[in-house]
A and B are shown apart, each in its own frame.
Chain A
């Protein structure tokens, strides 16, 4: 396929993604259908997009992943213009840690039992599974003035990706990169974090007390791309440093809410083209035992998320949709899980990377099938629901003032 045609197709997808997310009929799907389209046209299925063309898009994909991670860093632990409540934040981090521990342990033993992986690869796949499968779908609203259950679900979802990204950052400590200098294996993750902090501090200082939008984009994008480039140069997973950069900017900049509002609008148009391209990277030719392992892990993830959802019901106050629906709303997978899977695939294109990415992809499709409707009910998707006041900073673009169902992407 001609690269220009593919680029045009991706841009059209980005346009549709942005348009769909702004329509009244809320699209809470994580983009499973786009993932399937990408997989179908990819080199391992119908072959409309050959491997060479796909590889030529890799730099673009890496940049998009870095930007998404930075946006997640900017919106981490936030709801509307403010921060999530401390109890919700710690509950989310604790629950994600539990999920990660369960997924990692199970991945280690199941991979051994099935004989899918052996030796050090079992540790690696355990860490990858914990990183990819511990999270859930984010919910962004322009305001925190929401019914208690909706607010709680949004707060949990918007605080979950710290653990997954932390585990992703730890992967190089298992397999230290080949670099021109020697470092203790435990210090590699710290190098990535330090890169994100240094550039995050730089961005926050440059933005300073007065935010010039025309300067914000090149400064922020430049810093994110530098972080991504440096991570790749050090052979580190690119998401954690970019996420740290975003979080550092939020922590240090007095204009954090404005920056967050401006950047959040860029996420949805990026997610769909990334999802299509990601789909094309799915390697179908894996041994059946590996697919069996992937299937087991995804089913297990569903059970764990459902169980955690039931536990969370207790803290959600009155749940009008019912405890069962509330628990099911934790099944959809966020864009960050797919991004983590893709990052692991790019970091290790062997069986571990392929399996990690396959887990993310299958979890995303199944999560969309089983949990999107429930998530919609928890997020109050109906024309009759009261609309919280729109966020002032979110209005200045060309979009009309947002209703909650328009913003909850």
Chain B
């Protein structure tokens, strides 16, 4: 979706279109019926799609990622700025999140080639260990140290405050697969940084889910002295993970057979999976993200149809990702963000420092290439759905401080969601990996990225030969 090579005339047209769309909407909002009328949802969806694409193209001029444009469209049209999309419409549009997360997880699994994993396994393993220990420890300590500035934490006993800080530490090492895939889908990047980021961000989901379960087991007795450490949570967790992998493998095999023998109407099949199958997975108390990640991994590595499925997801994603991120932008609670911006910004800064520090340690330990050593942290800053989902678990488990804790998470995720993709795209541009997939595939637009091809082919199109970044 990169707008590279567009002339100034096209940019002027885009700018004018943006003005026209906003003008039409402003007039309609003044003279029409209320936005809660039946057309409100339709209008909101149409507006977010059109505005998201237009803003992403306009921001592309200054090198910002498309994802930032989608988020900006949501913020701009949302209930806190122009009021073109109200809270009710935002809630209704959030139903598309299930579909988006399904596509993201499937695409994530499809991106995990065994060859790629083998290539980066040393860096991946060591980065996972360091981020999960150093990153978690630093973030936990910083949160605990900020106790005087957090009223809900200050009221707690020291050990209880430490328990809460432990939850924060786990959340701090969660990443955003959707943001990573969104940027890679736009830039069609390929190279060492791309492969490391994909492998790390996708696999870190599983690690974070496991760590959160462990933190719950350890943190609960610290916060509630009457509670005891119970291994029941681990049993439930192992059931969830084992079940998710089994169901995901089965789904992956079925998908591979479907692609082999039928293969048509993939878009409908994907929507069916996103709405129908993900409901069934949740009904079985399994982890949808892990299930679809496994399914994608199986299709990619046990069948020759991975690229085809990925291509279909990218086509569907053109719409779904815009709605997903624009809705996320509209969901941003700006008043809350403004009310706690100092604390939130400090936490974001310390999290970034912890991430970069952990990356430097793991990178030196793994003897990574200079490029990876310098820019490997850039994809680890974004946070989105998974972090928010885990914060809801904490909120439900601890109603006494949960809502305040979650508000803080929402505020920091809001900042990371906006800044993270900018850093990642900048890094891809600087390392020359942007557009490498397109250059290698020999066309712009609709072909899979070079990273999807076998390594023998990839070696013919090194990332350094890619065209200069458009920004």
Among A180, A206, A223, contact of B46 (Cβ-Cβ < 8 Å): A223
**Given known contacts A19-B265, A199-B24, A218-B322, A226 and B47 CB-to-CB distance under 8 angstroms:** yes
Q: Are B46 and A221 in contact (CB under 8 A)?
A: yes
Closest CB-CB distance, A310 to chain B, in whole Å?
A: 40
Among B20, B263, B265, B319, contact of A218 (Cβ-Cβ < 8 Å): B319
Among B47, B54, B315, contact of A214 (Cβ-Cβ < 8 Å): B315
Q: Are B272 and A63 in contact (CB under 8 A)?
A: no
Q: Are B315 and A213 in contact (CB under 8 A)?
A: yes
A230 interface residue per 8 A CB criterion: yes
Q: Are B39 and A232 in contact (CB under 8 A)?
A: yes
Number of B positions contacting A (CB below 8 A): 56
Residues of B near A8 (CB, < 8 A) are 272, 275-276
Residues of B near A221 (CB, < 8 A) are 46, 49, 319
Residues of A near B312 (CB, < 8 A) are 398
Closest CB-CB distance, A267 to chain B, in whole Å?
A: 13
Q: Are B42 and A66 in contact (CB under 8 A)?
A: yes
Residue of B nearest to A7 (CB): B275
Residues of B near A398 (CB, < 8 A) are 263-266, 308, 312
B269 interface residue per 8 A CB criterion: yes
Q: Are B38 and A58 in contact (CB under 8 A)?
A: yes
Among A11, A214, A226, A233, contact of B33 (Cβ-Cβ < 8 Å): A233
What's the Cα separation between A343 and B402 when bound, in Å? 47
Q: Mark B430-461, 1 if CB is under 8 A from A, else 0.
A: 00000000000000111000000000000000
What's the Cα separation between A217 and B21 when bound, in Å? 17
Q: Are A225 and B268 in contact (CB under 8 A)?
A: no
Q: Mark B27-59, 1 if CB is under 8 A from A, else 0.
A: 010111101011111111111111111100000
**Given known contacts A206-B13, A212-B1, A228 and B46 CB-to-CB distance under 8 angstroms:** yes
Residues of A near B46 (CB, < 8 A) are 221-229
Q: Are A4 and B275 in contact (CB under 8 A)?
A: yes
B94 interface residue per 8 A CB criterion: no
Residues of A near B32 (CB, < 8 A) are 179-180, 230, 233-234
What's the Cα separation between A352 and B280 when bound, in Å? 42
Residue of B nearest to A9 (CB): B276
Residue of A nearest to B13 (CB): A205
Q: Are A212 and B268 in contact (CB under 8 A)?
A: no
Residue of B nearest to A62 (CB): B42
What's the Cα separation between A227 and B24 when bound, in Å? 10
Q: Are B17 and A15 in contact (CB under 8 A)?
A: no
B239 interface residue per 8 A CB criterion: no
Q: Give chain A interface residues in 300-339, CB to chain B under 8 Å.
A: none
Q: Mark B393-431, 1 if CB is under 8 A from A, else 0.
A: 000000000000000000000000000000000000000
Among B17, B265, B308, contact of A206 (Cβ-Cβ < 8 Å): B17
Q: Are A229 and B44 in contact (CB under 8 A)?
A: yes
Among A180, A218, A234, contact of B50 (Cβ-Cβ < 8 Å): A218
What's the Cα separation between A399 and B40 when bound, in Å? 36
Residues of A near B315 (CB, < 8 A) are 213-214, 217
Q: Are B17 and A205 in contact (CB under 8 A)?
A: yes
Q: Mark A219-256, 1 if CB is under 8 A from B, else 0.
A: 10111111111111111001000000000000000000
Among B25, B38, B279, B308, contact of A59 (Cβ-Cβ < 8 Å): B38
Q: Are A232 and B265 in contact (CB under 8 A)?
A: no
Residues of B near A234 (CB, < 8 A) are 28, 32-33
Residue of B nearest to A346 (CB): B38
Residues of B near A346 (CB, < 8 A) are 38
Which of A219, A225, A234 is the most central at the interface, judged by chain B CB atoms within 10 Å of its CB?
A: A225
What's the Cα separation between A202 and B47 when bound, in Å? 13
**Given known contacts A8-B275, A208-B10, A229-B46, A198 and B39 CB-to-CB distance under 8 angstroms:** no
A18 interface residue per 8 A CB criterion: yes
B14 interface residue per 8 A CB criterion: yes
Residues of A near B47 (CB, < 8 A) are 222, 226, 229
Q: Give chain A interface residues in 58-91, CB to chain B under 8 Å.
A: 58-59, 62-63, 66
Q: Are B13 and A208 in contact (CB under 8 A)?
A: yes
Q: Give chain A interface residues in 327-378, CB to chain B under 8 Å.
A: 346
Q: Are A230 and B39 in contact (CB under 8 A)?
A: yes
Q: Give chain A interface residues in 383-409, CB to chain B under 8 Å.
A: 398-399
What's the Cα separation between A409 and B174 when bound, in Å? 49
Q: Are B38 and A214 in contact (CB under 8 A)?
A: no
Among B14, B39, B269, contact of A229 (Cβ-Cβ < 8 Å): B39
What's the Cα separation between A233 and B34 when bound, in Å? 7
A144 interface residue per 8 A CB criterion: no
B111 interface residue per 8 A CB criterion: no
B314 interface residue per 8 A CB criterion: yes
B117 interface residue per 8 A CB criterion: no
A275 interface residue per 8 A CB criterion: no
B150 interface residue per 8 A CB criterion: no
Q: Are B39 and A219 in contact (CB under 8 A)?
A: no
Residues of B near A269 (CB, < 8 A) are 265, 268
B223 interface residue per 8 A CB criterion: no
Q: Give chain A interface residues in 195-213, CB to chain B under 8 Å.
A: 195, 198-199, 202, 205-206, 208, 212-213
**Given known contacts A212-B445, A222-B49, A235-B33, A217 and B38 CB-to-CB distance under 8 angstroms:** no
Q: Mark B47-87, 1 if CB is under 8 A from A, else 0.
A: 11111111000000000000000000000000000000000
Among A7, A199, A230, contact of B276 (Cβ-Cβ < 8 Å): A7
Among B43, B269, B444, contact of A15 (Cβ-Cβ < 8 Å): B269
B318 interface residue per 8 A CB criterion: yes
Closest CB-CB distance, B460 to chain A, in whole Å?
A: 25
Closest CB-CB distance, A38 to chain B, in whole Å?
A: 19
B207 interface residue per 8 A CB criterion: no
Residue of B nearest to A178 (CB): B33
Q: Are A215 and B318 in contact (CB under 8 A)?
A: yes
Q: Are B24 and A230 in contact (CB under 8 A)?
A: yes
Residues of A near B279 (CB, < 8 A) are 4
B271 interface residue per 8 A CB criterion: yes
Among A181, A205, A214, A225, contact of B43 (Cβ-Cβ < 8 Å): A225
Q: Are B10 and A181 in contact (CB under 8 A)?
A: no
Residues of B near A66 (CB, < 8 A) are 42
Residue of A nearest to B316 (CB): A217
Closest CB-CB distance, B449 to chain A, in whole Å?
A: 13
What's the Cα separation between A224 and B1 when bound, in Å? 20
What's the Cα separation between A63 and B39 when bound, in Å? 9
Residues of B near A199 (CB, < 8 A) are 21, 24
What's the Cα separation between A199 and B25 when bound, in Å? 11
Which of A63, A202, A218 is the most central at the interface, judged by chain B CB atoms within 10 Å of its CB?
A: A218
Residue of B nearest to A231 (CB): B39
Q: Give chain A interface residues in 11-63, CB to chain B under 8 Å.
A: 11-12, 14-15, 18-19, 22, 58-59, 62-63
Q: Are B265 and A215 in contact (CB under 8 A)?
A: no
What's the Cα separation between A222 and B18 when bound, in Å? 13
Residue of B nearest to A397 (CB): B264
Q: Are A222 and B445 in contact (CB under 8 A)?
A: no
Q: Mark A178-190, 1 if CB is under 8 A from B, else 0.
A: 0111000000000
**Given known contacts A195-B24, A208-B10, A233-B32, A217 and B42 CB-to-CB distance under 8 angstroms:** no
Q: Are B276 and A214 in contact (CB under 8 A)?
A: no
Closest CB-CB distance, A361 to chain B, in whole Å?
A: 22
Q: Give chain B interface residues in 101-118, CB to chain A under 8 Å.
A: none
Closest CB-CB distance, A281 to chain B, in whole Å?
A: 14
Q: Are A206 and B268 in contact (CB under 8 A)?
A: no
What's the Cα separation between A205 and B33 when bound, in Å? 29
Interface residues of A (CB under 8 A from B): 4, 7-8, 11-12, 14-15, 18-19, 22, 58-59, 62-63, 66, 179-181, 195, 198-199, 202, 205-206, 208, 212-215, 217-219, 221-235, 238, 269, 346, 398-399
- 4 A-B pairs besides A202-B20, A214-B445, A233-B28 with CB distance below 8 A are A15-B272, A212-B1, A219-B49, A399-B264
* A-B CB contact pairs (8 Å), 13 listed: A8-B272, A58-B38, A59-B42, A59-B92, A62-B42, A218-B53, A219-B53, A222-B47, A226-B50, A227-B46, A229-B47, A232-B33, A232-B37
The 7 tightest CB contacts between A and B, nearest first, are A229-B43, A232-B39, A225-B46, A222-B49, A222-B50, A233-B32, A226-B46
